[in-house]
Each structure stands twice: as structure tokens, then as C-alpha cells.
């Protein structure tokens, strides 16, 4: 274990106030505090930023050219800092090419495994393709007795169908004497004297390179003959052996990877062949993405619960046919179209309608839609058709991403795409069951050990339900971070400072203990693990706790308490008070009665097993369960999609079931925890629409009217008002090439976003650029007389976001902050409509003090008559729900069922559910 500590002195990044703190090396350090207290500023913007800067200083001059553009963290000094690695949640959309296998480096090792052990198979004939050498050919012919005559031949013309006389004359001029004609060894001169009367119809013309005899001590001239034959026939060689009956036995060999049946030349195995990010291995049609944009059958159909006969005329008209134009393709369907819904149509029939039927010559609805899109000039039709496009599996690789040669290579009879389609548990079983010989073990033993080790890590952190080819952008933030954690565990680095951001996001309490064990493994080897976390289990397992605060924004930025976990009983601060039980989240025990319901029936999407779920209208519903149990599938892909299909005629996926009672809400809104936007132009003040009122205020000022400035002049997206250097972003992007790009403050406007003329207009001695640098709390005081602005900003303050800057870039916001900003925007809407709000882990990144604030807002929404459906693991929020639905009992194939539903007390009383056990203990503790 490493000795000493990382000593931070005078840290003043963002709201940090000359922070001095010591972090023990080789220990798990939990950094906590209320939202906005400065946790990320200390862990990421100070500790990691300084580690990154020092790393660049150690590189070559070409890399150090970026140092003058990277701002040094505002610190006096940091002593004892080891190399730093940050494992943060992905807040922006990851690379669409990334998968679970690439994210964990398992794919790189699988490429090596397939390179060394893979046997190429012909993608057309489906037979193994092997390369023959002089040694293997000599071994084969050596099995015959000495004195056996044989010919070494080369295929000069494969399956020749034309005139043979010109070809024979060409061979004769090149000096060849004999050809293998039919089943005879014939001289070319003989054939030229008596030319064949018929054309050669699809048979090989093999030229005899040499006639040899098997010798006991080896056959002279064999190697030279094989080399000549291989050069003539591009690696294809034949041996014709004269047997006892004076007939010839012909055997084909190839020095290249050539199929002996169809002649297809396979690419030789290599690491780049098995990479879908390399031209050598990627599918040429989709370029390794696995999908292409085309008309989606589910979007063309619309509502899958509609009867076929009802929507068939509209579908025909949409693709440019008469209203009865699809009657004939569906006329032979063996059921009554007036009483059959689209989701009941057998898949083969639906596929024939959408993708065409070659037997009848019908091109298919998708092809008809393509043709109409190409021919029409109507913008309205184009817009309508473009809305029906989506991602469809690539028709050539069927979503496997690799080209035909790469996808056909097999190890132990298994193709690489087939292994990638397995979940972690099945892939681990396949790797463990791989039988290898001594030579093979010598080649790939370490590779297999690495794959098995990383799969075991994924299994231990309860990600065994994920398939290896699952796209990274479909993972939650917690799943992404834990998958990346697997890579670090596999690297076995020592003496590193790891910085993690809320690694328990998306984890059930039953799984958090496993995560703590993995953090302990990182700790071994002298690594320091700094975790920004609020989970009670993680904080109690940490060796050292640092609490920042006491409040948020300008009220925070100081070290409230720092010390070993053992001294927690005497610690100051909110966190210690919550851990000791002196403070608690307000318990809500008055339940709204469940009277009316929205129901999901027969949901069998992904791992759901014909689920029937009921969600009370006008109540706060919480959906719980282990990670991978099927919560998101039930809520987002079934409930939310079904309501959207009802109100907006959007498509739903097959298997998502029927949603009954969707008309009981006027609209459904997903309040997501992903980033608000892709760059600095997206800010809290623009998202809640308060910027429109601020611009209108500045445009009405006398100075602005005198200069002729309208409201659009005060938009940082307007070229007339924005800074010309940073184009209104306040920062400039620095391309790091080998590292992620970074943003640095614009040198011209110093982060104010606007040009000098626009900044000359001020309200209460502040320009609009300076207003964007105010926190929400400061802005409420600045615009105290402007009700329209304050009304929108108060929603942010009510959600505990008073510390945020109005113009803070979206990429600097956590997932929880982005979600609460979306919620603030919804609070600013008129309260007339009955809404269903769906939230995924709204407590992520929240201190118990902030959870208390969030709960008050959620209860206010319910009081207004709205319906909430929340995917959550935080026990205080679950205990405050009106209705709980527990999905499980396990993850992946072991989940997908409703194991308990009802009030929190009813779910807590259920035996055999992980959630029920933890909830029962929590209710007993908080009610005592």
C-alpha cells in the first residue's frame, strides 16, 4: 500500500475557496456534499486536470504544443500527485461504433484469438477453406507406394465455356506439352491436329506442369513443379494420381485461401480483418456500423394495434398506389383483415409485404416508398416520408458489421459475430470450454486469460446480462462507467489515482456491495481511488471521507470535514448527520389511492416475459429492480412508446404489448438525464426559455434602442452580436488528436460570448455577457423586478439548482443536473394538461439533502394531477411513492417479470424480492 498523501493547497477552481486538503494515498476516498458544493471542481477540475497537464508535460514537444492553451488549475500547489485516470459517466452520445466488447477491450483480444486460431470458411459454399503447403502436399502424395505416377497440374481456365482451340494454341506457344482433358492426359499437339468439335461447357482446362513418380526418399522436382503450377493458377494446384485401374484420381490443393468449390479467394486472417473500424474488415455497405437509414416497417404501419383493413388503404396511398393497391399482395393472407391487428400478423407475411415477394414480382412497401421519395417534388410528401425513416439492419451483414470473409472465419465452429451476440455469461462459458492443444495454448494462452478475466469482472459487477455486441449508446451512465471500470481492472496498473463519478448510478442496493469489492481491488497495488459519491454503502466502505459545503455555489466550496471513516461519529457537516441518523429525508407516508390505471399488457419486448403492469393515474409510481431486470424496457419502450403511439400515431416495436387507458393523460414526457445539448451553446437559461425574456429586456433598454439593437442582437447565436473569434460559445475547442478535445476560455471576449458593441448595453451595471456568468441565485436578485424572468428561474432554485451559472455549458452538467433542468422547464408549463412524466434515476448525483428538495417538487407535480413514473433505486424516494412496481427477480433472462406491486408497505411485506428486503429495513429504520 502506498504511503503518504496527496496534498492540495490553495485550490480555487470555480467555487472552491482556497481549499487545503490531504487525501491519503492507496486508500478509497469518498468526496461528498450537497449538489454544487464543489465536489467535481475538486476531483475533476483540480485533481484530474492537474494530472492531465503534468502528463502532457512529460510528452514530446509536438504534444506539449497544446500546453499553452490548457489553463492551469487555480491552485497554489499539489504535492504527491500520482498519474490520474478519470472514469466518468458519458454525458454526451458515445461513438455509434462503440460496443460493450470494444468499451472493455475484450474485442481487441478476440481479434487476436480469431487471427491465430481462426479457420476461414467460404461465405458462399459454407465449407472450410485451408491453405496447402509444399510439405502438406508432399505428405499427401507420400502415402502412395513408390513408383506411383502422378501429374502436377495448374487450372489454366476455370469452368471454360467458350471455344477451346485458341486457348490450346496459346498454351502451345507458351511451351506447355500436355493438358488434362476429361479423364485423360493428352498432348496439346494431338488436340490441335484433331480439334474438339464441341465447346468446353463449364469444365476446367488443366495444364500439366510436370509428370512425376513417387520415390521413397522424396520426389525430385516436386517443389519446383508446385511453385510453377501455383504461379500459373493463382495458388490453385491439382495432382492427378494414376491408380491400379489406369484411371486418374484428381485431388485439388491451394496455396492461397481459395474455396475448392466456387473459387472464392478468402482474405487471410489478421487483426485488421476482424475490425469493423478498419476497411479490411468492415462491411462495405454499412462501413462497419451494422445499420443503414431506410424506411422502417414499424413506422410505415403506424399504430400496431390498428386493424389491417383500416390502415391498408392509407398505407397504399402513402407509397403512391391507389387505395386498393395493396389488396392483391395481402389477398392470400390466411386470416380476416378486418379483425386482425398489425401486431398479430405473422412475421414472414409482414416481411413479404414490406420487403417484397420475388415470386409474385411485388417490390414491397419499403421499395415503393423509396421510389415515391425519389420522384416526388412535393415538400410536404418528402417531409412526411422522411419522418418514416429509421435505422434498419444492414441488408448485407445483417447488423454483424463485418464483411463476408471476416464473418465466416470460425474458431471451434463458432463465428466471431455469433460469439459477440452472446451475453457475458454465455460468452464466459464458451471461453472456458475452449479446448486447446499445447501449441495453440502457447500462441493464445495469455489472450484467452485476458478475455476470461474481463468477462469475469463484468459478471461480478452484475453486467452479465449484456451482450458483447450491444451498442454503447444504449447503456445507462452507470453501466458505461462500470464497463470502463472493467478495462482498468484488467490493465492491473499500480500507483495510479483513479477518479470515479457516481459509480453506483443505476445499481440496486444488492449490487453495490459487489462494486465496493471492485473498488477494493483497484486499491490494491497502491492505487488511490477518489469517488464522488452519495451512496451510503460506498461512503461507509470508504477509508477516508471529504465533505464539501456547507451549501451550494457561493455558499459552498469549503472543506466541512475531512477524516477517516472511523471518526465519523465526531464529524461535522450534513453528510455525517445523515449517516448517524440525526437528519433524515422527509418521510411521506400518506399515499394517494390507486383508483384509475394505465395498463401495459402482454409486453414481451427484450427480456420481458408477457408482463402485465398497472400504473395508477395521478400518483407517483416508482419502478424498481436489479440492473438489467427490464425496468427501462417496461417504462420507456412499452408504456411511454404506447402512449406516444396513441396520441401521435408513432410506431412501437413489436412485442411492446398493448397500452390500455393511454387517453387518461394528455401527453407523455420523458425527462431524460442525458446532456441538454452537444456543446457550449446549450445552457440552463436557454433551455428553460428565460433567455428570450432577458433578450427582450435588453432590447427595450434606451441604449439598445438608440443603437437600433433588436432582441436577436442579444442572442449569442447571432453573428451580429456574438464574439467573432469563439462565435458566441465563450470557449474555443482545442483538438488534442490523441486525447479528447478540450475547451478553453476565449482570449478575445474572455468567456462573455459577445462583441464589444453588444456588451456596451447594460442593465443595472451588468452586460448580457456578465448576466450569463451569474448563478441562478444571483440572477434572481439581479432581475428581482422582472416577474417573467424570476418565475422561470425560481423553478431551478426550487430544484436545488440555485448554484448553476445561467450560461453554464451543457457538457459541464452532470446527468442529474440536466434531468432537473428539464424538470424545471416542465414546471414552467401551464398546469392545464394532464401529463405523464417519466424519469430515470432522478436522484443520481444527489445528496440526501437534495433528495428531500426533489421529493417536495415531485409531490407538487402529483398534487397538480400529473402522473409520475420513476425508475429508481434510492430508498427514500421508493418509500415516498404511492405505488411501487418491482421487476425481477434477477437480470437479463432471469428477470423480466413483475415480482411485486402495490404500496411501499405491501412491496416490503413480499418475501423473496431484493427490493422488498431493503425497503422493509428502510421503513422500519425511518419510522422508528
Letter string b/e over residues 875-899, b meaning 16 or more CB atoms within 10 A of that residue's CB: bbbbbbbbbbbbbbbbbbebbbbbb
Considering only CA atoms, which of 675, 673, 689 is closest in space to residue 809?
675
State the DSSP H helix or E strand holding residue 620, giving kind and residue range, or none if neither: strand 620-625
Q: What is the pairing mode between strands 731-734 and 742-745?
A: antiparallel
Q: What is the pLDDT of residue 835?
A: 93
E runs forming strands in 642-734: 658-660, 667-671, 731-734
- Cα dihedral 414, 417, 419, 422 sign: negative
In the numeric block, which cell numbers belong to residue 236? 490453385
Q: Which residues pair with 886 in a beta bridge?
A: 624, 900
Provide the 3-class DSSP secondary structure of residue 852: helix
Strand pairing category for 149-160 and 203-213: antiparallel
Helix (H) or strand (E) holding 792: helix 787-798
The CB density around residue 779, as the number of other CB atoms within 10 Å, is 26
907: its cell numbers: 412491496
- Eight-class DSSP state of 667: E
Backbone angles phi, psi at 784, to 5 degrees: -55, -25
Q: Number of helices and strands (H, E) in the chain?
A: 37, 32
Count of CB atoms within 10 A of residue 784's CB? 11
Nearest 10 degrees: CA dihedral of 764, 766, 768, 769? -170
**What torsion do the CA atoms of 356, 357, 361, 367 make, to the nearest 10 degrees?**
0
Contact 132, 254 (CB under 8 A): yes
Pairing of strands 620-625, 883-888: parallel
The strand ranges marked E within 81-235 are 84-87, 149-160, 178-181, 184-187, 203-213
Ranges in the chain, pLDDT < 70: 1-2, 62-71, 89-94, 160-162, 182, 197-202, 245, 303, 305, 477-478, 649-652, 654, 678, 735-742
* DSSP class per residue in 369-393: HHHHHHH---HHHHHHHHTTEEEEE
Q: What is the 3-state secondary structure (H, E, C) of 443-475?
A: HHHHHHHHHHHHHHHHHHCCCCCCECCCEHHHC
What pairs with residue 867 in β-bridges?
A: 836
Q: What is the largest CA-CA distance in the chain?
A: 113
Residues linked to residue 805 through DSSP beta bridges, in sequence order: 775
Whether omega before 889 lies within 30 degrees of 0, making that bond cis, reads yes
Preceding amide of 550 cis, omega within 30: yes
Pairing of strands 597-603, 558-564: unpaired
**Would you call 346 exposed, middle or buried from its count of C-beta atoms within 10 A (0-12, 13-18, 19+)?**
exposed
- Burial, 247: exposed, middle or buried (Cβ in 10 Å; 0-12, 13-18, 19+)? exposed
3-state DSSP assignment of residue 796: helix
Q: Please confirm whether the linkage preceding 497 is cis (ω < 30° from 0).
A: no
* Residue 262 in grid coordinates: 466456387
Q: Give the whole-angstrom CA distance, residue 26 versus residue 200.
A: 79
User: Is residue 256 packed enough to be buried (19+ CB in 10 Å), middle (13-18) or exposed (0-12)?
Assistant: middle
| φ and ψ at residue 425, rounded to 5 degrees | -65, -45
Q: Can you name the residues that pair with 528 across neighbouring β-strands?
A: 497
Amino acid at each position: 500500500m502506498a504511503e503518504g498523501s496527496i496534498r492540495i493547497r490553495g485550490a480555487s477552481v470555480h467555487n472552491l475557496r482556497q481549499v487545503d486538503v490531504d487525501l491519503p494515498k492507496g486508500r478509497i476516498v469518498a468526496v461528498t456534499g450537497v449538489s454544487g458544493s464543489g465536489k467535481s471542481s475538486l476531483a475533476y477540475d483540480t485533481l484530474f486536470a492537474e494530472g492531465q497537464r503534468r502528463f502532457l508535460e512529460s510528452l514530446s514537444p509536438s504534444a506539449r504544443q497544446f500546453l499553452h492553451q490548457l489553463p492551469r488549475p487555480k491552485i497554489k500547489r499539489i504535492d504527491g500527485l500520482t498519474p490520474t485516470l478519470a472514469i466518468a459517466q458519458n454525458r454526451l452520445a458515445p461513438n455509434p461504433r462503440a460496443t460493450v466488447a470494444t468499451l472493455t477491450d475484450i474485442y481487441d483480444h478476440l481479434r487476436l484469438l480469431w487471427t491465430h486460431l481462426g479457420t476461414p470458411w467460404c461465405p458462399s459454399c459454407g465449407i472450410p477453406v485451408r491453405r496447402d503447403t509444399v510439405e502438406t502436399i508432399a505428405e499427401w502424395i507420400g502415402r502412395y507406394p513408390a513408383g506411383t505416377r502422378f501429374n502436377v497440374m495448374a487450372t489454366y481456365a476455370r469452368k471454360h465455356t467458350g471455344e477451346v482451340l485458341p486457348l490450346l494454341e496459346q498454351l502451345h506457344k507458351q511451351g506447355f506439352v500436355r493438358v488434362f482433358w476429361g479423364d485423360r492426359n493428352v498432348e496439346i499437339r494431338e488436340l490441335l491436329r484433331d480439334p474438339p468439335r464441341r465447346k468446353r461447357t463449364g469444365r476446367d482446362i488443366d495444364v500439366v506442369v510436370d509428370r512425376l513418380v513417387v520415390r521413397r526418399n522424396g520426389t525430385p522436382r516436386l517443389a519446383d513443379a508446385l511453385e510453377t503450377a501455383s504461379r500459373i493458377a493463382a495458388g490453385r494446384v491439382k495432382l492427378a494420381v494414376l491408380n491400379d485401374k489406369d484411371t486418374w484420381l484428381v485431388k485439388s490443393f491451394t496455396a492461397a485461401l481459395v474455396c475448392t468449390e466456387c473459387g472464392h479467394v478468402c482474405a487471410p486472417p489478421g487483426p485488421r480483418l476482424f475490425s469493423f473500424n478498419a476497411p479490411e474488415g468492415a462491411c462495405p455497405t454499412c462501413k462497419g456500423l451494422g445499420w443503414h437509414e431506410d424506411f422502417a416497417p414499424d413506422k410505415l404501419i403506424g399504430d400496431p394495434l390498428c386493424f389491417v383493413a383500416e390502415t391498408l388503404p392509407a398505407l397504399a396511398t402513402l407509397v403512391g398506389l391507389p387505395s386498393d393497391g395493396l389488396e392483391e399482395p395481402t389477398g392470400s393472407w390466411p386470416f380476416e383483415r378486418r379483425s386482425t391487428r398489425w401486431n398479430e400478423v405473422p412475421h414472414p407475411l409482414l416481411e413479404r409485404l414490406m420487403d417484397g415477394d420475388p415470386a409474385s414480382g411485388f417490390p414491397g412497401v419499403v421499395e415503393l416508398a423509396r421510389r415515391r421519395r425519389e420522384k416526388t417534388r412535393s415538400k410536404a410528401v418528402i417531409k412526411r416520408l422522411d419522418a418514416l425513416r429509421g435505422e434498419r439492419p444492414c441488408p448485407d451483414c445483417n447488423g454483424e458489421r463485418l464483411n463476408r470473409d471476416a464473418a465466416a472465419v470460425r474458431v471451434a465452429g463458432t463465428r466471431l459475430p455469433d460469439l459477440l451476440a452472446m451475453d457475458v455469461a454465455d460468452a464466459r462459458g464458451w471461453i472456458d470450454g475452449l479446448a486447446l492443444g499445447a501449441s495453440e495454448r502457447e500462441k493464445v494462452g495469455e489472450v484467452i486469460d485476458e478475455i476470461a478475466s474481463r468477462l469475469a469482472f463484468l459478471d461480478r459487477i452484475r453486467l452479465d446480462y449484456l451482450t458483447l455486441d450491444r451498442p454503447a449508446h444504449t447503456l445507462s451512465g452507470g453501466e458505461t462507467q462500470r464497463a470502463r471500470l472493467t478495462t482498468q481492472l484488467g490493465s492491473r496498473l499500480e500507483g495510479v489515482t483513479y477518479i470515479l463519478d457516481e459509480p453506483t448510478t443505476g445499481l440496486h442496493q444488492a449490487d453495490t456491495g459487489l462494486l465496493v469489492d471492485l473498488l477494493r481491488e483497484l486499491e490494491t497495488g497502491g492505487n488511490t481511488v477518489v469517488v464522488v459519491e452519495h451512496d451510503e454503502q460506498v461512503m461507509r466502505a470508504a477509508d477516508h471521507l471529504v465533505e464539501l459545503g456547507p451549501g451550494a455555489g457561493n455558499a459552498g466550496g469549503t472543506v466541512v470535514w475531512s477524516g477517516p471513516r472511523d471518526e465519523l461519529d465526531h464529524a461535522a457537516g450534513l453528510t455525517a448527520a445523515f449517516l448517524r441518523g440525526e437528519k433524515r429525508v422527509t418521510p411521506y407516508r400518506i399515499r394517494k389511492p390507486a383508483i384509475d390505471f394505465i395498463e401495459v399488457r402482454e409486453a414481451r419486448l427484450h427480456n420481458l416475459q408477457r408482463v402485465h403492469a398497472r400504473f395508477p393515474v395521478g400518483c407517483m409510481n416508482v419502478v424498481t429492480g436489479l440492473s438489467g431486470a427490464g425496468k427501462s424496457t417496461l417504462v420507456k419502450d412499452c408504456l411511454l412508446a404506447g402512449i406516444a403511439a396513441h396520441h401521435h400515431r408513432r410506431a412501437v416495436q413489436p412485442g411492446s404489448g398493448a397500452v390500455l387507458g393511454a387517453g387518461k393523460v394528455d401527453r407523455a414526457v420523458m425527462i431524460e438525464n442525458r446532456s441538454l445539448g452537444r456543446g457550449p451553446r446549450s445552457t440552463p437559461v436557454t433551455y428553460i426559455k428565460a433567455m428570450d425574456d432577458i433578450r427582450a429586456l435588453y432590447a427595450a433598454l434606451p441604449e439598445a434602442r438608440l443603437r437600433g439593437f433588436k432582441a436577436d442582437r442579444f442572442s449569442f447565436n447571432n453573428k451580429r452580436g456574438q464574439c467573432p473569434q469563439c462565435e458566441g460559445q465563450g470557449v474555443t475547442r482545442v483538438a488534442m488528436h490523441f486525447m479528447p478535445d478540450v475547451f478553453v476560455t476565449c482570449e478575445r471576449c474572455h468567456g462573455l460570448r459577445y462583441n464589444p458593441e453588444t456588451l456596451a448595453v447594460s442593465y443595472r451595471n451588468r452586460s448580457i455577457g456578465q448576466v450569463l456568468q451569474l448563478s441562478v441565485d444571483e440572477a434572481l436578485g439581479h432581475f428581482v423586478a422582472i416577474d417573467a424572468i424570476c418565475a422561470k428561474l425560481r423553478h431551478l432554485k426550487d430544484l436545488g439548482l440555485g448554484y448553476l451559472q445561467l450560461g453554464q455549458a451543457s457538457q459541464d452538467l452532470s446527468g442529474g443536473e440536466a434531468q432537473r433542468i428539464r424538470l424545471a422547464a416542465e414546471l414552467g408549463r401551464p398546469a392545464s394538461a394532464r401529463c405523464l412524466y417519466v424519469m430515470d434515476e432522478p436522484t443520481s448525483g444527489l445528496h440526501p439533502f437534495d433528495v428531500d428538495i426533489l421529493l417536495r417538487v415531485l409531490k407538487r407535480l402529483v398534487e397538480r394531477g400529473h402522473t409520475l413514473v420513476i425508475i429508481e433505486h434510492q430508498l427514500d424516494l421508493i418509500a415516498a411513492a404511492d405505488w411501487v412496481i418491482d421487476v425481477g427477480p434477477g437480470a437479463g433472462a432471469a428477470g423480466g417479470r413483475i415480482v411485486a406491486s402495490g404500496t411501499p408497505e405491501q412491496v416490503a411485506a413480499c418475501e423473496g424480492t431484493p427490493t422488498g428486503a431493503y425497503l422493509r429495513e428502510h421503513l422500519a429504520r425511518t419510522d422508528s
